[in-house]
Amino acid sequence: MEILLIEDNLNIIKGLEYAFKQENLTLNTATTLTKATKYLQEQQVNLIILDITLPDGDGIVFYQDYIQSLNIPVIFLTAKDEEEVIVNCFNLGCDDYVTKPFSTKELLARVKRILLKAKQKSLITVQNISFDLDKMVVSKNNVKIELTSLELKILQMLFLNLGKVVTRTSILDKIWEWTGNDVDDHTVTVYLKRIREKLGEDIIVTVKGIGYLIDEK
């Protein structure tokens, strides 16, 4: 399980790196939001521990503008303990909140709880199509379906938002982010057509003029 700590305090980083290693947990670090964005674009992450105050921006704004759409569990880590800030974080959808100074053992316990919960949701099955989000493997009746890396990522977006519409615009933005290539509206149509053909099941619903969704019913 990959954990990303976004924190600029080197003492906290060193302390948590040691503690997480003792628990056989992989902890990667980013000291700025810029570095965190680059890491998230390149790596699969299961949990983010996010400081609210960082050198190049506000962690809460970063969560709203970027992380929230990735559907990655987040623990906010901050020196701020105002009730309004805490309530705001939970209203936005964060999974937990730890105030500095904090107990490393308590943070580890919260991390393990969230990872266990995420692990239980890592295999999503709709009809006879299963998506293992940890292994990034899609199968039909337990037989692996060969998808390209980009097709997998697009399908992952849909599976992570079961019952919710994923807009064509958001898919386009992600394709551009992942590939760096110029894309247009037709690009989304082409990729969804390919994915549907490979799945061989009509689990992806087109919401005309808006986007696509997978209904878990």
Residues 147 and 194 in one domain: yes
Final residue belonging to a domain, choices 83, 102, 120: 120
pLDDT score, position 2: 87
Q: Residue 16: is its pLDDT beyond 70?
A: yes
Answer with the one of 120, 151, 174 that is the final residue of a domain: 120
The one-letter amino acid code at 1 reads M
Mean pLDDT of the chain: 89
For residue 99, the cross-strand partners are: 78
Q: How far is CA 18 from the centre of its chain?
A: 25
Q: Is there a single domain that holds both residue 15 and residue 27? A: yes
**Statement to judge: residues 116 and 160 lie in one domain:** no
Q: Are 63 and 152 contained in the same domain?
A: no
Instruction: Give dist(CA 72, CA 44) in Å, integer.
Output: 10
d(CA 89, CA 109): 20
Matching residue, tokens 């970063």 = 62
- Whether residue 135 is found in the same domain as residue 99: no
For residues 127 and 109, state if they share a domain.
no
Q: Please state the domain count of the chain.
A: 2
CATH number of the domain to which 196 belongs: 1.10.10.10
Whether residue 83 is found in the same domain as residue 155: no
Q: Could you tell me if 98 and 185 lie in one domain?
A: no
pLDDT tens string 115-149: 887 766 678 889 999 998 878 899 999 899 999 99
Whether 141 and 61 map to the same domain: the answer is: no
Which range of residues forms the domain containing residue 102?
Answer: 2-120
Q: What confidence category does residue 217 fall into, taking pLDDT thresholds of 50, 70 and 90?
A: low
Find the mean pLDDT for residues 103-124: 85
Q: Which pLDDT value is given to residue 121?
A: 66
For residues 112 and 201, membership in a common domain is answered with no
**pLDDT confidence of 44, banded at 50, 70, 90?**
confident
Q: What are the contacts of 93-96 at 24+ separation with CB within 8 A?
A: 93/68, 94/63
Which of 54, 87, 120 finishes a domain? 120
Q: 196 near 204, Cβ under 8 Å?
A: yes
104 with 191, same domain: the answer is no
Given a cut of 90, whether residue 94 has pLDDT beyond it is: no
- Report the candidate in 82, 14, 16, 8 with the shortest Cα–Cα distance to residue 47: 16
* Overall average pLDDT of the 174-183 stretch: 83
- What CATH number did the domain enclosing 80 receive? 3.40.50.2300
What percent of the chain is modeled with pLDDT above 70?
97
Average pLDDT over residues 18-29: 93
- Assign 103 a pLDDT band (cuts: 50, 70, 90): very high
pLDDT tens digits, residue range 191-213? Answer: 999 999 999 988 999 999 899 99
Please tell me whether residues 108 and 6 are part of one structural domain. Answer: yes
Average pLDDT over residues 68-97: 82
The rounded percent of the chain whose pLDDT value lies above 90 is 56
| Long-range CB contact pairs, 98-106, < 8 A, 24+ | 100/12, 102/77, 104/15, 104/16, 104/19
Interior/surface letters 176-187, b for 16+ CB within 10 angstroms, e for the rest = eeeeeeebeeeb
